[in-house]
Amino acid sequence: MLELGQKARAAARLVSRAESGAKNAALEAIAAAILADRARLKGENQKDLEAGRQHGLDAALLDRLELTDARIEAMAEGLRQIAALADPVGAISDLDYRPSGIQVGRMRVPLGVIGIIYESRPNVTADAAALCLKSGNACILRGGSEALHSNQAVARCIEQGLEQAGLPANAVQVVATTDRAAVGELLRLQDYVDVIVPRGGKGLIERVTSESRIPVIKHLHGVCHTYIDDQADIDKAVKVAFNAKTQRYGTCNTMETLLVAEGIAAQVLPLLGRQYQDAGVELRGCERSRRILPDIRAAQDADWDEEYLAPILALRIVDDMDAAMEHIDRHGSQHTDVIITESFTRARRFLREVDSSSVMVNASSRFADGFEYGLGAEIGISTDKLHARGPVGLEGLTTLKFIVLGDGHIRS
């Protein structure tokens, strides 16, 4: 791993200076190589799938692991989309004259070397490599052992594309070992790696956070709330609350708890209850809510903190917006929280006072992602506060340095 780190550091210097044209050419060449190598990719992927079946991976994991034609095409298309994004590197902002006569501004620059640790899906290899490359960073990618052959096959395409574009092949290194100790070594390469991005389950994130000597951009979990205020428009409330839960169950921006103001509960809950029931969503409600929907299961204390990632929804009636914000503050994970209201004053307060990476008015929490926000692809959604909060795209993989222009200026 030390050697990987040293090579990455050396490559980082070169890609940080690479022109946009060269980086885009590499991304296009990688996309072309992936399409041209389709048969080999599927062959290598087959090895992973067979090994997975032998090791008894469940059907959902096997499905995520599989590289179909459609997924291979999507992978290439993803690379081209990243090529089409604006290059953030080198942009100078806020360049102003100071009273001393010097000009002071800020230049956006790459972070350096990014270590990414991820699980199962082989398309992450192409995605993550492309985001790091476009933002001028070198990266070390450590995928899951289930996808070893697939990831190595993608790695060959990346190498080929980099070389075609005259960029250093070491700008993207995919770790070829499945040894778990390699992760520990990567997390201690603080002299060569500038930031670690773990992408995977809670167990992985917690291991990385506790072991890493390198700053981590992490995404812990999403316990997202929708609060239906008593000044909500009922149609919008039903539409948004239904979408936030049911549009996809397994994503971190899916609503897990619905909070409803006492004053509107009797109007809105019967409508919503029926829709959830038809969609097969299990409701777990507080005592007050069960007076309106008597057939639903009683919520336990633990339900308020649960990220179900499943067709289950916790439901609580609260006195007012302050009680809702208190609930969110205590039980939320600072990911994405929503108010449905027509009240300007409450919307204004909710936006300011709720301390989450995304705070929304009258919109589904499912919008909280990089594409919907216009960032392009994302490397993850950060639930940290420092550096990057919410969806992390190209900009989150860069930082700002100060630049100073003078004409022989000295400090007196």
Comparison of 6 and 247: residue with beta carbon closer to its own copies: 247
- Among residues 68, 100, 177, 178, the one that binds its own copies under rule CB under 8 A: 100
The per-residue DSSP string of 241-259 comes to: HHHHHHS-SSSTTSEEEEE
Contact 167, 22 (CB under 8 A): yes
Comparison of 151 and 383: residue with beta carbon closer to its own copies: 383
Confirm or reject binding of residue 252 to its own copies (CB under 8 A): no
Give which of 131, 35, 23 is closest to 76, Cα–Cα: 35
Comparison of 150 and 341: residue with beta carbon closer to its own copies: 341
Contact 380, 195 (CB under 8 A): no
Comparison of 60 and 403: residue with beta carbon closer to its own copies: 403
Distances (CA, A) of 13 to 94, 113, 131: 25, 9, 17
Give which of 38, 12, 13 is closest to 115, Cα–Cα: 12
DSSP letter, residue 310: S
Q: What residues numbered 13-52 form the site for its own copies, per CB under 8 A? A: 13, 16-17
Comparison of 148 and 214: residue with beta carbon closer to its own copies: 214
Distances (CA, A) of 123 to 21, 45, 90, 126: 24, 11, 28, 5
**What count of other Cβ atoms lies within 10 Å of the Cβ of residue 392?**
22
Q: In what order do the strands lie in the sheet with 172-174?
A: 172-174, 138-142, 113-118, 195-199
- Among residues 233, 305, 307, 320, the one that binds its own copies under rule CB under 8 A: 233
Confirm or reject binding of residue 366 to its own copies (CB under 8 A): yes
Q: How many residues bind its own copies (CB under 8 A)?
A: 68
Applying CB under 8 A, the span of 141-149, 154-162, 197-205, 395-403 interacting with its own copies comes to 395-403
* Rounded Cα distance, 231 and 262, in Å: 11
Comparison of 100 and 177: residue with beta carbon closer to its own copies: 100
Applying CB under 8 A, the span of 150-158, 276-284, 313-321, 355-363 interacting with its own copies comes to 355-363
Q: What residues numbered 189-228 form the site for its own copies, per CB under 8 A? A: 194-195, 215, 217
Comparison of 208 and 299: residue with beta carbon closer to its own copies: 208
End-to-end CA, the chain: 48
Confirm or reject binding of residue 102 to its own copies (CB under 8 A): yes
Determine the length of the chain: 412
Binding mask 282-321 for its own copies (x = CB under 8 A): ----------------------------------------
Applying CB under 8 A, the span of 158-166, 231-239, 273-281, 303-311 interacting with its own copies comes to 231-239
Amino acid (one-letter) located at 134: K
Comparison of 68 and 190: residue with beta carbon closer to its own copies: 190
- Among residues 44, 146, 306, 384, the one that binds its own copies under rule CB under 8 A: 384
Applying CB under 8 A, the span of 59-67, 274-282, 313-321, 388-396 interacting with its own copies comes to 388-396
Write the burial class of residue 356 (CB in 10 Å: 0-12 exposed, 13-18 middle, 19+ buried). Answer: buried
Contact 154, 58 (CB under 8 A): no
**What is the nearest approach in angstroms of its own copies to the Cβ of residue 383?**
11
SS3 195: strand
* Rounded Cα distance, 374 and 263, in Å: 37
Binding site residues, its own copies, CB under 8 A: 13, 16-17, 90, 96, 98, 100, 102, 104, 107, 109, 111-112, 194-195, 215, 217, 233, 235-236, 239-240, 242-244, 247, 329, 347, 351-353, 355-364, 366-368, 372-374, 384-387, 389-391, 399-412
